[in-house]
Amino acid sequence: QVRLVESGGGWVQPGGSLRLSCTTSGFTFSNYVMRWHRQAPGKEREFVAQIGPLGGSRSYGDSVWGRATISRDNVENTVYLQMNNLKPEDTAVYYCNAPSFSDSWGQGTQVTVSS
């Protein structure tokens, strides 16, 4: 029943920016912590960012410190990830997830950072 659909990825040059979106359905979105993770080829899934149910508590992985902002819109049931000053090492498939539904994942959205 839980559905997560990521979008907004694409190709960007180093130093550029992207805003990723995750639209959700199948649960009461405003009651749940939401996270972003990413996974690069040959690497384990990596935590990127987390936001509390009402958006008041935010945390980030060290790898994106100072470059990422997570936000949410509880009317549109959508969580966002703004990424600035992108680096080649940010290249990965980005996924959103609610920890309470840890087995529910979307298709992800590909971010590619290169010259």
* Tens of pLDDT, residues 47-78: 999 999 999 999 999 999 999 999 999 999 99
- Structural contact between residues 100 and 77, judged by C-beta atoms closer than 8 angstroms: no
Q: What is the mean pLDDT of residues 6-28?
A: 98
Task: Kindly state the percentage of the chain with pLDDT values over 70.
Answer: 100
CA distance 69 to 48: 10
What pLDDT score does 31 carry? Answer: 97
Pairing mode, strands 18-25 and 78-83: antiparallel
- Structural contact between residues 8 and 107, judged by C-beta atoms closer than 8 angstroms: no
